[in-house]
């Protein structure tokens, strides 16, 4: 053996290490160039929006933008004192309010604060209208009296303390709302009363429905995947086409088909009534409730369970079961002790896929979910497109995202992500 | 039949098998295995060997005929009640269990107590020199080690019969040869009955008490290795086992033990009459390359012909020479490196000859 102490050199005398690194660097650069377009695309269309959403969930710069001087002045005031703010704060608000009223932005702040306490939207609109006409030269009273004369609410400490609380650059109020929490006028966090709390129940229902859907897809998907993996190639290809067929039809069409099947006057109910199993007056309500969501989503997500299961089962050598049987195991024991444990990676992969897809599913619960079959995503969509409360939508979205991440980590700990086989 | 059928541990009686209802993969198989015997099924791939094992193990039903294990017909007995050990080519070690758990599995399903189980597992692992590996996973073992574990696992529950389907097929040459001896020794030590399947003839010849040569779903010949090599009964076996030269011709004379076969170029070859259809019919002559004599003296052997060396392949201990003789230019002769003839050159003309009894007249293709 040559001595290892001397640094090895290539034929032209460059150190071997340097030369190796050089060639590796070239390789790395090429690899980077290959993924660069996709990376940029994902950055712009996926990572930035997610980052933006995470920011939006806590962002509160609107108060500082619309009431710049008021926010500075308010910092000196202690709402716990129970005293109304000083005259200069009211003055600052009047000045800011006039600017904002002319720029037509004041109602936006009103809307923002209305999320915290109803009534603020109308208060700000009314105040804005008055302030537009207001001329300080002709003022006879103090700024404070003037505002109170516009609306009595300005004479209450709570009004000031809410603006004070929400004057920071960031707010936790969206997240509090997303967890059905609220801050009372003393600033303490407490649960909302039962009739106005919705989100915890919604999260619970979303998770529960997703669990059920995942369980059902495993129940239905496992035997199909087994058939696919063990049948002769010709038959199993045909079956595979049937499994994949739903992918070639629009999600909307499939969901509507379920409506046609499940509704009160639908095919199933009509048939049941026709054969006399149920009476005409007691038609089953299988749609526009959680049953509808469950049935339709199980059907739609089934391929996502079957494919990973199939790909795992395909790799299981049929001689495992034969070996087990030759060693004296009954068919059932061979399945339980040998076949099934080898499919756990597939169950895990399919399970996590279906679960993650279903907790974020939107179209189907929106169409067939009715009231008790809607899921968290429907509320996110509602806040984005109807109530325009993007902050709350972002907070809900972020919670959903972290839920998925937690599940993912849990799965990694339990099964190991390297074992995941998706197809 | 002179022998008593009930002395055999395994019997195939007129077994036929078809997967698709059109083609018989196994045609009328009759095979008897004595207790403690090492019997090998040897045949080209696709000849139905695995199918036979699967029928015996109970994973494929026989289409026709009956299989007896210890004189009990087992066609209706499910695989787990047959008590047959199996070694698969892919080893089929359970990847989610350790080596120890793999070996304990057959004992566990037999409801054997833990202490006895551990003892048997240890003995079985020691038998294949893997006592230290009980806690490893199959994937942490080399191919040869996995193979040994598979053998140990097939034996740990003391089955009467062990089936091995090309168990060494995935190993490299050296390891394969080593494992052949190990399996052979285990067989001798335990006295277990082994039905072994391979397509490697040297493996079959090294290991077996008897070899069943398979082709196209039929046992072509069932005999001990030396008989198979020395006295092949048909052209397929002659060609499949060992090096062989084939000369095809027409039988022109026939006596009680010998015959004369004329090749298309007009040479008359005296041969040992083994399996011919009769005078005027085609026959395949089989001559082993090492039985050919170079430059025989006149009268030393009955068959002497002119030959031309076409190709010489130096193989160390001998030189393999392709020659043209009797109109056939695929005739191989093995020239030992010790002889003075070793300095033959390509294109040289020599005379070669062989004995009548070294030249077997067999059936024509
Ligand atoms: N499960 C099966 N279904 C249909 N045909 C099969 C099956 N198994 C084997 N065959 C066919 O039977 C013939 C014999 O196969 P096999 O017993 O595996 O031969 P060998 O083990 O000698 O290579 C082959 O032609 C093969 O294609
Ligand atoms: Mg085979």
Question: Percent of chain A beyond pLDDT 90?
Answer: 57
- Domains in chain A (CATH in brackets) are 2-55 (no CATH), 61-175 (no CATH), 199-419 (1.10.3720.10)
Look at strands B38-42 and B193-198 and give their pairing: parallel
Report d(CA A52, CA A236) in Å as an integer: 46
Max CA-CA distance within chain B? 76
For residue B226, what pLDDT band results from cuts at 50, 70 and 90?
Answer: very high
The answer to whether A309 touches A230, Cβ cutoff 8 Å, is no
Treating both helix axes as pointing N-terminal to C-terminal, what angle do A340-359 and A199-230 enclose, rounded to 10 degrees?
A: 140
Q: Do B83 and A327 touch (CB under 8 A)?
A: no
Which residue in B has a C-alpha nearest to residue A317's C-alpha? B92
Nearest Cα residue to atom 8 of ligand 1? B51
The answer to whether B201 touches B240, Cβ cutoff 8 Å, is yes
Q: What share of chain B is helix, strand, coil (3-state, %, to 5)?
A: 30, 35, 35
Please choose from B15, B47, B51 the residue to mutate so as to test ligand 1's pocket, defined by most ligand atoms within 8 A of CB: B51
Nearest Cα residue to atom 14 of ligand 1? B48
Report d(CA B59, CA A321) in Å as an integer: 10
Residue A93's nearest CA partner among A109, A80, A117 is: A109
Say yes or no: CB of residue B48 within 6 Å of ligand 1: yes
Q: How far is CA A389 from CA A5, A178, A181, B228, B252, in A?
A: 68, 12, 17, 89, 106
Average pLDDT, integer, range A271-275: 92
Asked if residue B256 has pLDDT above 80, the reply is: yes
pLDDT of residue A1: 44
Residue B105's nearest CA partner among A333, A318, A316 is: A333
The answer to whether A327 touches A297, Cβ cutoff 8 Å, is no
In chain B, what residues touch A319 (CB-CB under 8 Å)? Answer: 88, 90, 92
Across the strands, what pairs with B273? Answer: B361
Phi and psi torsions of B282, nearest 5°: -75, 150
Task: Give the burial class of A237: count Cβ atoms within 10 A of its Cβ; 0-12 exposed, 13-18 middle, 19 or more buried.
Answer: exposed
Which residue in B has a C-alpha nearest to residue A343's C-alpha? B96
Q: Do A326 and B157 touch (CB under 8 A)?
A: no
pLDDT of residue A141: 86
The answer to whether B125 touches B135, Cβ cutoff 8 Å, is no
In chain A, what residues touch B163 (CB-CB under 8 Å)? Answer: 326
Q: Do A329 and B105 touch (CB under 8 A)?
A: yes
Average pLDDT, integer, range A351-379: 90
Average pLDDT, integer, range B253-274: 89
Report d(CA B292, CA B301) in Å as an integer: 10
| Range A57-92 burial, b when 16+ CB lie within 10 A, else e | bbbbebbeebbeebbebbeebebeeeebbeeebbbb
The answer to whether B65 touches B39, Cβ cutoff 8 Å, is no
Asked if residue A414 has pLDDT above 90, the reply is: no
pLDDT of residue A124: 93
Residue A262 corresponds to which tokens in the numbers above? 């499940």
Range with the poorest average pLDDT among A12-21, A35-44, A321-330: A12-21
User: Which atom of ligand 1 is nearest the CA belonging to A232?
Assistant: 3
Q: What is the mean pLDDT of chain A?
A: 89
User: Which atom of ligand 1 is nearest the CA belonging to B44?
Assistant: 22
For residue B85, what pLDDT band results from cuts at 50, 70 and 90?
Answer: very high
Q: Residue B113 in 3-state DSSP? A: coil
- Ligand 2 centroid–CA B46 distance in Å is 7
CB-nearest to B80 from A317, A320, A328 is A328
The answer to whether B248 touches B238, Cβ cutoff 8 Å, is no
Look at strands B245-254 and B218-223 and give their pairing: unpaired
Asked if residue A44 has pLDDT above 70, the reply is: yes
User: Which atom of ligand 1 is nearest the CA belonging to B20?
Assistant: 4
Phi and psi torsions of B270, nearest 5°: -85, 130
Element (H, E) at B273: strand B268-273
pLDDT of residue B339: 65
**Long-range pairs for B260-266: beta carbons < 8 A, 24 or more residues apart:** B261/B285, B261/B361, B263/B326, B263/B327, B263/B328, B264/B327, B265/B326, B265/B327
pLDDT of residue B295: 86
Asked if residue B236 has pLDDT above 60, the reply is: yes
pLDDT tens column, A184-211: 877 788 898 888 888 999 999 999 999 9
Residue B103's nearest CA partner among B82, B79, B127 is: B127
- Domains in chain B (CATH in brackets) are 5-235 (3.40.50.300), 243-362 (no CATH)
First to last CA, chain A: 48
The answer to whether B334 touches B290, Cβ cutoff 8 Å, is yes
pLDDT of residue A247: 80
Average pLDDT, integer, range A134-139: 84
Phi and psi torsions of A420, nearest 5°: -70, 130
Q: Do A327 and B92 touch (CB under 8 A)?
A: no
Asked if residue A270 has pLDDT above 80, the reply is: yes
Asked if residue A329 has pLDDT above 90, the reply is: yes
In chain A, what residues touch B92 (CB-CB under 8 Å)? Answer: 317, 319-320, 322-323
* Rg of chain A in Å (alpha carbons): 31
Q: How many CB pairs under 8 A join A and B?
A: 68
pLDDT of residue A23: 87
In chain A, what residues touch B139 (CB-CB under 8 Å)? Answer: none
pLDDT of residue B81: 93
* Rg of chain B in Å (alpha carbons): 25
Nearest Cα residue to atom 10 of ligand 1? B19
Average pLDDT, integer, range A89-108: 91
Asked if residue B50 has pLDDT above 80, the reply is: yes
- Ligand 2 centroid–CA B54 distance in Å is 10
Asked if residue B288 has pLDDT above 50, the reply is: yes
pLDDT of residue B265: 87
> How far, in whole angstroms, is CA A363 from its chain's centroid?
14
Average pLDDT, integer, range A233-246: 89
pLDDT of residue B314: 87
Residue B79's nearest CA partner among B91, B94, B67, B95 is: B67
pLDDT of residue A222: 97
pLDDT tens column, B289-321: 999 988 888 888 889 999 999 998 888 888 899
pLDDT of residue B1: 41
Average pLDDT, integer, range B113-123: 94
Q: Residue B29 in 3-state DSSP? A: strand
Residue B301's nearest CA partner among B309, B292, B310 is: B292
Average pLDDT, integer, range A254-267: 90
pLDDT of residue A420: 58
Token pair 């046992």: residue:
B219
Q: Residue A85 in 3-state DSSP? A: coil
In chain A, what residues touch B69 (CB-CB under 8 Å)? Answer: none
Give the closest-approach CA distance of A242 to chain B in angstroms: 26
């Amino acid at each position: 053996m040559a001595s290892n102490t001397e640094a090895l050199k290539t034929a032209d005398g460059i150190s071997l290490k340097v030369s190796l690194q050089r060639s590796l660097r070239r390789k790395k650069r090429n690899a980077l160039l290959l993924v660069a377009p996709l990376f940029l695309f994902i950055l712009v269309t996926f990572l930035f929006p997610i980052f933006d959403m995470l920011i939006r969930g806590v962002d509160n710069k609107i108060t500082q933008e619309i009431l710049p001087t008021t926010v500075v002045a308010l910092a000196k005031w202690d709402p716990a004192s129970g005293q109304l703010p000083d005259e200069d704060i009211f003055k600052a608000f009047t000045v800011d309010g006039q600017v904002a009223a002319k720029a037509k932005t004041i109602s936006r702040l009103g809307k923002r604060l209305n999320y915290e306490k109803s009534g603020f939207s109308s208060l700000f609109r009314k105040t804005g209208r008055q302030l537009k006409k207001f001329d300080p030269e002709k003022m006879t009273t103090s700024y404070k009296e003037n505002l109170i004369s516009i609306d009595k609410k300005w004479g209450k400490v709570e009004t000031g303390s809410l603006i004070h609380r929400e004057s920071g650059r960031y707010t936790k109020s969206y997240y509090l709302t997303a967890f059905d929490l609220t801050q009372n006028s003393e600033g303490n966090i407490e649960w909302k009363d039962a009739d106005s709390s919705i989100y915890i129940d919604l999260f619970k229902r979303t998770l529960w429905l997703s669990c059920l859907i995942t369980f059902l897809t495993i129940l239905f998907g496992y035997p199909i995947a087994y058939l696919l993996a063990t049948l002769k190639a010709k038959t199993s290809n045909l079956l595979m086409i049937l499994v994949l067929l739903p992918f070639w039809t629009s999600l909307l069409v499939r969901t509507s088909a379920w409506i046609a099947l499940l509704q009160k006057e639908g095919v199933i109910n009509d048939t049941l009534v026709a054969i006399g199993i149920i009476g005409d007056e007691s038609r089953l309500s299988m749609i526009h409730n959680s049953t509808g969501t469950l049935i339709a989503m199980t059907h739609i997500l089934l391929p996502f369970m079957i494919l990973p299961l199939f790909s795992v089962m395909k790799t299981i050598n049929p001689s495992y079961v034969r070996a087990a049987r030759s060693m004296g195991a009954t068919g059932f024991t061979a399945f339980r002790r040998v076949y099934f444990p080898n499919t756990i990676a597939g169950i895990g992969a399919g399970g996590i896929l279906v679960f993650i897809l279903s907790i974020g599913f939107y179209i189907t619960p929106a169409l067939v979910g009715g009231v008790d079959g809607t899921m968290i995503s429907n509320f996110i969509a509602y806040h984005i497109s109807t109530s325009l409360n993007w902050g709350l939508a972002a907070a809900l979205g972020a919670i959903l995202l972290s839920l998925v991440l937690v599940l993912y980590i849990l799965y990694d700990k339990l099964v190991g992500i390297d074992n995941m086989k998706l197809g | 039949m002179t022998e008593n059928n009930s002395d055999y541990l395994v019997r195939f009686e007129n077994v036929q098998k078809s997967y698709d209802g059109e083609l018989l993969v196994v045609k009328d198989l009759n095979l008897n295995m004595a207790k403690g015997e090492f019997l090998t099924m040897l045949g080209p791939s696709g000849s139905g060997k695995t199918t036979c094992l699967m029928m015996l193990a109970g994973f494929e039903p026989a289409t026709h005929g009956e299989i007896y294990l210890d004189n009990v017909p087992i066609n209706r007995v499910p695989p787990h009640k047959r008590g047959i050990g199996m070694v698969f080519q892919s080893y089929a070690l359970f990847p989610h269990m350790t080596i120890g758990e793999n070996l304990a599995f057959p004992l566990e399903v037999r409801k054997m107590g833990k202490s006895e189980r551990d003892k048997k597992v240890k003995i079985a692992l020691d038998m294949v020199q893997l006592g230290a590996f009980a806690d490893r996973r199959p994937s942490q073992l080399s191919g040869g080690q996995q193979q040994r574990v598979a053998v140990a696992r097939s034996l740990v529950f003391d089955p009467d019969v062990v089936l091995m389907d090309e168990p060494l097929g995935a190993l490299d040459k050296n390891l394969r040869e080593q494992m052949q001896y190990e399996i052979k020794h285990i067989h001798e030590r335990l006295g277990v009955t082994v039905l072994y399947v391979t397509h490697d003839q040297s493996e079959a010849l090294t290991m077996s008490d008897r070899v069943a040569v398979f082709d196209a779903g039929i046992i072509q010949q069932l005999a001990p290795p030396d008989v198979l090599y020395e006295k092949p009964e048909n052209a397929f076996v002659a060609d499949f086992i060992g090096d062989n030269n084939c000369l095809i011709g027409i039988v022109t004379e026939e006596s009680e033990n010998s015959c004369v076969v004329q090749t298309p170029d007009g040479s008359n070859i005296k041969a040992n009459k083994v399996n011919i259809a009769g005078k005027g019919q085609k026959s395949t002559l089989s001559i082993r390359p090492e039985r050919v004599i170079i430059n025989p003296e006149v009268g030393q052997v009955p068959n002497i012909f002119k030959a031309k060396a076409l190709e010489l392949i130096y193989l160390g201990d001998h030189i393999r020479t392709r020659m043209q003789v009797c109109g056939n230019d695929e005739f191989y002769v093995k020239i030992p490196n010790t002889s003075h003839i070793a300095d033959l050159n390509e294109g040289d003309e020599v005379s070669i000859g062989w004995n009548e009894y070294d030249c077997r007249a067999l059936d024509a293709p």
